[in-house]
Amino acid sequence: MKRAHLAAVAAISITAALSANSAQAEDLTLCWASWDPANALVELSKDFEAQSGHKMSFEFVPWPNFADRMLNELNSGGQLCDLMIGDSQWIGGAAENGWYVKLNDFFDANGIKMDDFIDATVTGYAEWPKNTPNYWALPAFGDVVGWTYRKDWFERPEIQTAFKEKYGRDLAVPKTFAELKDIAEFFQKREIDGKTVYGASIYTERGSEGITMGAMDVLYSFGFKYENPDKPYDMEGYVNGPGAVAGLEYYKALYDCCVAPGTSNTYMSEGIDAFKSGQVALQMNFAFTWPGFETDMDVGRGKTGYFANPAGPDGDQFAQLGGQGISVVAASTKQDAALEYIKWFAQPDVQAKWWSMGGFSCLKAVTLAPDFPQSQPYAQTFLDSMAIVKDFWAEPSYATLLQDTQKRFHDYVVAGQGTAQEALDGLVADWTETFEDEGKL
């Protein structure tokens, strides 16, 4: 990000924004997942330490264990975390169980406006109930499932010629899921530079949320809906309608035809490894992975391209939302200092620096700036993807709903048990039972 632009987006200076009369310096602990963006946040937070006098500590947990570890911490009323960057699906449970501090009054008192953040991230990361002005977090890290591809392979004349001979069209970024599958099949077991490569890396992980994030990323564009738009929790014909069935069948077909051997339980880190090692032509993964590809010795320097989720058979185009908001933990005894961090982090110049360091800012002053699309090779794809996002249930019972989805999808897609219709019918039954137990049906 250019220095001139950093100055332009700064509405107020950092020093003016921070509280000048803090009662005392505090030792704050921020909890998040263990991944590259967390390391960038450690560096960014040094500015907060220097200007506030507070000392920042961090508790980072690997993604496969993150939800269990941190939800247990919140549910037990533990005081390890003063600030929590929690997953988007947690917001309902965190609000209803009193785990997070409600931020409306704080936002109003400090001129922090949710209209200044990407709309989807406000709904996804901050609001409960959804689509109401009740805020429990500040959008912290925008993320979405998208695709990377080996741009250097696509540009080779011999590969272009072979593809056109087979499919009658140029090898290019796919506009539809049908085109994506053609490309994956074309590269499957093709020899490139003396090495056998494969078509695509997609999510299949069973233990946490992987296959749900991957399959939903496809199902949305085929017509899947969580519920009747006019009748909450009415799922029959929406979760298991013809479009949803076709989408799940597609996901299984892509798994059956076009992944590398031994990829029956893969998620984010396995996808990164497969792409960096030159194993696959296409890779499904969250946007947070993109900065790392740009700096990689093997797939960086123009070898990697990026594209948003393609369209389904009827032209619908959606993508699975990822990302998180930052919240003040209600059990913390250092809430005032934690709120200072929120105030500092919300500033335009801090958000601009966050983007430049590999953090995915949700602030419109950053993402809608004229020079943003040119700021990184993946910036435009990030904007395009964030404009089409949908998210999984954010209900307090989301963990149970997610476990049901993981089992139904993995049993069908990977284990080959039953049909897509049976898997989705079973999912409707699972979710109906949960909502009945909660008195919502």
Query: Helix, strand, or coil here: 23?
Result: coil
Query: Helix, strand, or coil here: 65?
Result: helix
Is the model's pLDDT at 21 over the cut of 50?
A: no
Is the model's pLDDT at 383 over the cut of 70?
A: yes
- CB contact set of 176 (below 8 Å; sequence gap of 6+): 310, 311, 312, 313
Query: Which burial class, exposed, middle or buried, applies to 19 when counting CB atoms under 10 A from its CB (0-12, 13-18, 19+)?
Result: middle
- CB contact set of 76 (below 8 Å; sequence gap of 6+): none
| Mean pLDDT over the full length of the chain | 94
Token code pair at residue 289 = 């992975």
Is the model's pLDDT at 86 over the cut of 60?
A: yes
Calculate mean pLDDT across residues 420-437. 98
Percent of the chain with pLDDT over 90: 94
Query: Which burial class, exposed, middle or buried, applies to 161 when counting CB atoms under 10 A from its CB (0-12, 13-18, 19+)?
Result: exposed
Comparing C-alpha atoms, which of 344, 333, 339 is closest to residue 106? 339
CA 255 to chain centre: 21
Q: Distance between terminal CA atoms of the chain?
A: 50
- CB contact set of 300 (below 8 Å; sequence gap of 6+): 293, 294
β-pair partners for 100:
329
Supply the pLDDT for residue 12. 34
Is the model's pLDDT at 396 over the cut of 50?
A: yes
Is the model's pLDDT at 9 over the cut of 60?
A: no
Is the model's pLDDT at 6 over the cut of 90?
A: no
Supply the pLDDT for residue 80. 98
Supply the pLDDT for residue 64. 87
pLDDT digits (tens, 9 = 90+) for 349-361: 999 999 999 999 9
Comparing C-alpha atoms, which of 92, 52, 6, 3 is closest to residue 393? 92
pLDDT digits (tens, 9 = 90+) for 34-63: 999 999 999 999 999 999 999 999 999 999
Is the model's pLDDT at 436 over the cut of 60?
A: yes
pLDDT digits (tens, 9 = 90+) for 165-218: 999 999 999 999 999 999 999 999 999 999 999 999 999 999 999 999 999 999
β-pair partners for 284:
147
CA torsion, ordered 208, 209, 215, 220, to nearest 10 deg: 160
Is the model's pLDDT at 93 over the cut of 50?
A: yes
- CB contact set of 258 (below 8 Å; sequence gap of 6+): 181, 184, 185, 187, 188, 198, 199, 200
Is the model's pLDDT at 20 over the cut of 50?
A: no
Q: Where does the pLDDT of residue 24 fall: very low under 50, low under 70, confident under 90, or very high at 90 and above? A: confident
Is the model's pLDDT at 11 over the cut of 90?
A: no
Is the model's pLDDT at 15 over the cut of 60?
A: no
pLDDT digits (tens, 9 = 90+) for 250-262: 999 999 999 999 9
Q: Where does the pLDDT of residue 109 fall: very low under 50, low under 70, confident under 90, or very high at 90 and above? A: very high
Token code pair at residue 412 = 């069908």
pLDDT digits (tens, 9 = 90+) for 292-348: 999 999 999 999 999 999 999 999 999 999 999 999 999 999 999 999 999 999 999
